Amino acid sequence: MELEPGAFVKEKILRVQEYALLSAAGVGNLFRRPLYVADIFAQADLIGIGSLPIVILTGFFTGAVLALQSAYTLSQFGAKSITGELVSLSMIRELGPVLTGLMVSGRNASGMASELGSMQVTEQIDAMRALGTDPIKKLVTPRIVSTIVMLFFLTIVADTVGILGGGVVSAAMLGIGPSQYFHASIDILRYPDVLQGMVKPIFSGFIIATIGCFYGMTTKGGTQGVGRSTTQAVVASSVFIIALDFIVSRFMIGAFGR
């Protein structure tokens, strides 16, 4: 691969532009007929119900390990009793949204990239266009909508299960009573905390769906190309989720002071 720096940069910029156009068209189609409602539900089932087990498992163990680690640190300052507050704040503001985003990205950004990528290299996307269907309307828009909606609810599930996991560990291993733990974890929450935790999955969902679809729709180079798109989609969406998480956190903390 001998690419001149100029050509390389130009190609990257064109890719970003292509991505922006695809995302804009994907969202814009929400307001133009037809809206593929059946496809939205099919995707929601695939993404939402399909991801439930891994989200519950990761959520539970994240909460559990968080309780374990923070209780140890806190006990050095004689503050073991506030373990519940720490677990709940970390879960809701940060770990719930980010880990759910990463899990769903690993599962669904890759799924979208490989499904649409295979369709692309076997000319099925062209066939769809030839049959008079806009593939962005039929394939991309439903994935954006259902990923955002489902990620939102999956994050709530992860938060809940995480706090529960922390509670189980606190009661079973750390000698913190359930009532003390849950009281602490609920009382500490303020409106900005919840808002921050609820805004993040909206961004992550958008990133997962648009990046997965973008890499899928622009796949070139046969089956090997599909593999490449799949990997790149997961890598890119995971990095963007974490980067955007930082930006949203910074903005929200700036706006609400916590």
List interacting residues with other proteins (CB under 8 A): 32, 34, 119, 122-124, 126-134
Our CA dihedral for 23, 92, 111, 57, rounded to 10 degrees, sits at: -170
To the nearest whole angstrom, how small is the minimum distance from the Cβ of residue 120 to other proteins?
A: 11
To the nearest whole angstrom, how small is the minimum distance from the Cβ of residue 205 to other proteins?
A: 24
User: Given the complex with other proteins, which of 133 and 160 has the nearer CB atom?
Assistant: 133
User: Given the complex with other proteins, which of 26 and 59 has the nearer CB atom?
Assistant: 26
To the nearest whole angstrom, how small is the minimum distance from the Cβ of residue 138 to other proteins?
A: 9
User: Given the complex with other proteins, which of 69 and 122 has the nearer CB atom?
Assistant: 122
To the nearest whole angstrom, how small is the minimum distance from the Cβ of residue 126 to other proteins?
A: 6
To the nearest whole angstrom, how small is the minimum distance from the Cβ of residue 125 to other proteins?
A: 9
* Cα–Cα distance, 4 to 167 (Å, whole number): 57
To the nearest whole angstrom, how small is the minimum distance from the Cβ of residue 193 to other proteins?
A: 42
Query: Which CA distances in Å does 224 have to 109, 115, 165, 232, 257?
Result: 17, 13, 41, 12, 48
User: Given the complex with other proteins, which of 128 and 195 has the nearer CB atom?
Assistant: 128
User: Given the complex with other proteins, which of 128 and 248 has the nearer CB atom?
Assistant: 128
User: Given the complex with other proteins, which of 34 and 177 has the nearer CB atom?
Assistant: 34
